[in-house]
């Protein structure tokens, strides 16, 4: 019986769980409607024994379903290293990258100082990953783990929108790893084709605010 995942399939945090499910052979349904979790918020994974909420907890749970697939590595040490990279992604990469992308989309107001800070933080995070991948094919061990899945999902929209060729050329090891992961059917079946942009999206102007209603004249 498939588990039910109440979440947006286009959200990169949801996509982590969906890719992990492909690897472990878990059937997942994405129903529309309200989940039964205590928080009342999505994402929620509904199982026959209870609900799991939070995208990271869901992805970790799914990754541990099949030990032979080893999405959480082959040892306790592997698991700790995988968790380290997942937390690095969440804290050092995803926060500034989301800011950069939201500015490019016009969701956040374009502040040159704010945007430059976000871009520099992303550059530092990518440099750490690029350096690690100089001597490593994957983030942990010799096969794909949840660390690779989490980082690829976090990077996908940046590749599509803001990492132009000039920016990407600094990170050759990272691009080799990213392309290797994206060549796997488990990734492409969820993320689709991730075609790196030829030109970074320019900061779009924020949506115009509606003019205030005219005040009624005093009688």
Domain borders along the chain are: 3-65, 76-189
* Cα angle value 23/25/29 (rounded, 5°): 110
CATH of domain 3-65: 3.40.30.10
Whether the full predicted model's pTM is greater than 0.95, yes or no, is: no
Q: How far, in whole angstroms, is CA 150 from its chain's centroid?
A: 6
What is the structure's pLDDT at 32? Answer: 80
What is the structure's pLDDT at 217? Answer: 56
Q: Pick from 135, 138, 161: which is nearest to 148 by CA?
A: 138
Domain 76-189 architecture: Up-down Bundle (1.20)
Residue 219: pLDDT above 50?
no
Residue 4: pLDDT band by 50, 70, 90 thresholds? very high
What is the structure's pLDDT at 2? Answer: 84
Q: How far apart are CA 10 and CA 107, in angstroms?
A: 17
């Amino acid at each position: 019986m498939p588990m039910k995942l109440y979440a947006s399939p286009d959200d990169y945090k949801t996509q982590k769980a969906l890719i992990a499910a492909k690897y472990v052979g878990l059937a997942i349904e994405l129903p529309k409607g309200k989940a039964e979790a205590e928080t009342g918020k999505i994402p929620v994974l509904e199982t026959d024994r209870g609900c799991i909420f939070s995208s990271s907890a869901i992805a970790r749970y799914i990754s541990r379903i099949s030990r032979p697939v080893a999405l959480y590595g082959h040892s306790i040490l592997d698991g700790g290293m995988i968790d380290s990279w997942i937390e690095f992604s969440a804290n050092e990469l995803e926060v500034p990258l989301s800011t950069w992308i939201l500015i490019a989309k016009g969701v956040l107001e374009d502040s040159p100082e704010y945007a430059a800070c976000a871009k520099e933080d992303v550059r530092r995070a990518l440099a750490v990953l690029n350096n690690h991948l100089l001597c490593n094919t994957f983030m942990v061990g010799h096969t794909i783990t949840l660390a690779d899945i989490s980082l690829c999902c976090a990077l996908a929209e940046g590749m599509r929108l803001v990492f132009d060729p000039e920016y990407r050329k600094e990170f050759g090891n990272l691009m080799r790893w990213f392309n290797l992961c994206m060549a796997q059917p488990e990734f492409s079946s969820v993320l689709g084709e991730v075609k790196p942009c030829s030109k970074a999206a320019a900061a779009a102007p924020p949506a115009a605010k509606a003019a205030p209603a005219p005040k009624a004249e005093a009688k």
